[in-house]
Chain A
Amino acid sequence: GESVGLHLPTLSVQEGDNSIINCAYSNSASDYFIWYKQESGKGPQFIIDIRSNMDKRQGQRVTVLLNKTVKHLSLQIAATQPGDSAVYFCAETGSARQLTFGSGTQLTVLP
């Protein structure tokens, strides 16, 4: 079936460095993608989204890139801080309002 998955389960970066978290999706009909951050013991928190008619979107310290040709999504975090340590999920809309989540990448920021 259609799925959304992540390339790497864990990522460790030095504080101040940039982080890149990747995600592959298989549903070519997906038209909306979202990155969520989940801290330990908490619910997913919206970070940034992008529609399929765009290939890049920027927020505060975060950028999402979408490559529809290879069905690849990435989240870039600039100047990673200790508070960025969390699990990051990509998600896509498989139907009108139902999100399909990927498996998650654990980002650890090293001092």
Chain B
Amino acid sequence: EPEVTQTPSHQVTQMGQEVILRCVPISNHLYFYWYRQILGQKVEFLVSFYNNEISEKSEIFDDQFSVERPDGSNFTLKIRSTKLEDSAMYFCASIGTSGSTGELFFGEGSRLTVL
């Protein structure tokens, strides 16, 4: 079964450092997402990406965050200068060609710990 893969599974970084989280969405999917989940809390939308540009972003997704699809397979989330409150699980997700939210496929997540 196709799946969304994310790396790294866990990253520990010092406050102020840049972090890049990587995702390989399902190959024929066109819509890509990043969500965040702070420990014990609900999953929160960060950003959606379609046709090589951001289609929607939340208030959380400020100037410290950026997304990129550098090639035909990877989808990255960059946090320019990490803060303690950025510690969370970050989930990448993708949807098929219809664009319907129908079945959003999530990756296993990347746990970010900011010290």
| Chain A contact residues, CB within 8 Å of chain B | 32, 34, 36, 38, 41-46, 49, 89, 91, 93, 95-104
Knowing A42-B108, A45-B106 are in contact, say whether A101-B56 is a contact too (CB < 8 A): no
- How many A-B pairs have beta carbons closer than 8 Å: the answer is 59
Interface residues of B in 73-104 (CB under 8 A from A): 91, 93, 95, 99-104
**B48-A104 in contact (CB<8A):** no
**A101-B101 in contact (CB<8A):** no
Residues of A near B33 (CB, < 8 A) are 97
> Among B35, B56, B109, which residue has its beta carbon within 8 angstroms of that of A97?
B56
Residues of A near B58 (CB, < 8 A) are 98
**B42-A102 in contact (CB<8A):** yes
Interface residues of B in 25-62 (CB under 8 A from A): 31, 33, 35, 41-45, 48, 55-56, 58
A93 CB to nearest B CB, Å: 5
Extra A-B contacts (13), CB below 8 Å, given A97-B56, A103-B41, A103-B42: A41-B109, A42-B109, A43-B4, A43-B108, A44-B91, A46-B105, A89-B43, A95-B56, A97-B31, A97-B99, A98-B48, A99-B101, A101-B43
**A99-B45 in contact (CB<8A):** yes
**B91-A43 in contact (CB<8A):** yes
Q: Which residue of A lies closest to B47 (CB)?
A: A98
